[in-house]
Amino acid sequence: MDGLFESELAKRGDMVYEYIRSDRQRKRFHGMDVHDSVYLYVDGKRGKSLRPAVLLFSCGAAGGNEEIALPAAAAIEIFHTWTLVHDDVIDRDSMRRGGYTVHEEFRRRAIELGYDSEDAARYGSSIAILAGDVQQGWSVSLLSELADCGVDPGVVLRLIKMMETDVVLALLAGQTLDVQYSRAPIESLSEDAILEMLWKKTGALYEFSGKMGAMIGLNTKDEGNEMVHSISQFTGRCGTAFQLQDDILGVVGDTKKLGKVVGSDIKEGKRTLIIYHAFTNADSAQKMRLSKTLGNEGASDAEVGEVVDILSDLGSIEYVSALADRHIGEAKRYIERIPQSGYRDLLLMWAEYMVKRDF
């Protein structure tokens, strides 16, 4: 990966985190547990800022000044953050980016205060539910600050409505499907159903990031604008490819680089496309082995290793990798429709980055 691009990406991450970590933002949140729960992921090891970066690039590619879109970039990062906080409660994950998840952190604090273990777990979950709720509100407030940067209030209202209806609904429908699918027999699913879930869980927010950047850049309410359409189709497809790559890393990635345990998707029985592909192509002996380990939280490393071998033998990892590349190819055809610029180059580099990363 090009060092130049990584420094451009890091620069946008710095801009966005400087904005959301500023005293002006921080001082809204009073009370120790309120502030600490809302800022746990913000002050901790930060995310890759892929969504805010693509929003800022999209604004520039549409001919706008990316500085103006900064409140929207901050909004999208906090929007993503609240969904993580609630997903972590739902999935009962205790680690995120090498630190504790919000509910786990506050469960531990409650234990230190002398709560019994069940009560501490309840307290942790309660704080995490409330923290995500506050962050959702915060993301809307951040978006409303666009109007102070010269964006037409009518445009800002349109963006808020899109984020709070279309995007929230897509994301949460995706999360609901994920919860439902993980409990459904794998044979009852289909590739299209899984891709739809991936688009809702991840692609939709990336599509919106591009759309929002372009609409701000053009200061337009018109979602149907050709430039807005090309850019948002591009970012949405890259988002889905990113999720496919994530599923691959969940099987063959490096635990240390990822900050999460590789193989956990297998033990959790997650309905990823890799697993679905393997299952529908497995012979009966392989199917039996897969069924025994998928969704078995107590599976040994050796058992998980056998599953990884099967996924590899059946070409499932390659299959999904090729699918991700196909999404990137389609995405590029959209972005080639917009005028050449330094920002368009950044978008093209970003697309490669989405599937070439190993963390």
Among 43, 93, 164, 223, binds a copy of itself (CB under 8 A): 164
Residue 150 interacts with a copy of itself (CB under 8 A): yes or no:
no
For residues 71-87, one letter each, b for 16 or more C-beta atoms within 10 angstroms of the residue's C-beta and e for the rest, the string is: bbbbbbbbbbbbbbbbb
Residues whose CB is less than 8 angstroms from the CB of residue 129 and which lie 6 or more positions away in sequence, other chains included:
86, 89
Listed in sequence order, the DSSP H helices in the chain are: 3-21, 23-26, 32-43, 50-61, 70-91, 102-112, 117-144, 153-161, 168-181, 191-198, 204-218, 226-252, 255-258, 264-268, 273-281, 284-293, 301-313, 316-335, 342-356
Please state the closest distance from residue 292 (CB atom) to a copy of itself, in A: 19
**Token duo for residue 161:** 């409505």
In this chain, which stretch among 59-67, 137-145, 293-301, 320-328 interacts with a copy of itself, using CB under 8 A? 137-145
Q: Are 135 and 115 in contact (CB under 8 A)?
A: no
Q: Is 127 in the site for a copy of itself (CB under 8 A)?
A: yes
Of 93 and 330, the one with the shorter C-beta distance to a copy of itself is 93
Q: What sign results for the dihedral spanned by CA atoms 209, 211, 214, 218?
A: negative
- Binding mask 90-119 toward a copy of itself (x if CB under 8 A, else -) reads x-x----------------------x---x
Q: Is 156 in the site for a copy of itself (CB under 8 A)?
A: yes
Provide the H-helix boundaries in 31-116: 32-43, 50-61, 70-91, 102-112
- Tokens 């531990």: give the residue: 108
Residues 171-190 close enough to bind a copy of itself by CB under 8 A: 172-173, 175-177, 179-180, 183
Q: Which of 15, 62, 89, 314 binds a copy of itself (CB under 8 A)?
A: 89
SS3 for 83?
helix
Asked whether position 71 contacts a copy of itself by CB under 8 A, the answer is: no
Of the residues 4, 11, 28, 259, which one makes contact with a copy of itself according to CB under 8 A: 28
Interface region with a copy of itself, contact rule CB under 8 A, candidates 131-139, 269-277, 309-317, 349-357: 131-139
Least Å distance, CB 156 to a copy of itself, is: 6
Asked if 169 touches a copy of itself (CB under 8 A), the answer is: yes
- Neighbouring CB atoms inside 10 A of 103's CB total 27
Q: How far is the CB of 228 from a copy of itself (least distance, A)?
A: 19
Query: In 10 A of CB 227, how many CB atoms?
Result: 20
68 sits near a copy of itself (criterion: CB under 8 A): no
Task: Tell me: does residue 86 bind a copy of itself (CB under 8 A).
Answer: yes
Interacting residues of 276 by C-beta distance below 8 A, sequence separation 6+: 186, 189, 191, 194
Among 5, 94, 144, 149, binds a copy of itself (CB under 8 A): 144
Report in angstroms how near the CB of residue 132 gets to a copy of itself at its nearest: 7
Options 30-38, 44-52, 271-279, 329-337: segment touching a copy of itself (CB under 8 A): 30-38
Structure tokens at 174: 């995706």
Residue closer to a copy of itself, measured from CB, 126 or 291: 126
Give the DSSP per-residue string, 255-298.
HHHHTS-TTHHHHHT---HHHHHHHHH--HHHHHHHHHHTT-TT
Question: Which residues lie near a copy of itself (CB under 8 A)?
Answer: 28-31, 33-34, 82, 86, 89-90, 92, 115, 119, 122-123, 125-127, 129-130, 132-134, 136-138, 140-141, 144, 147, 153-154, 156-157, 160-161, 163-165, 168-169, 172-173, 175-177, 179-180, 183
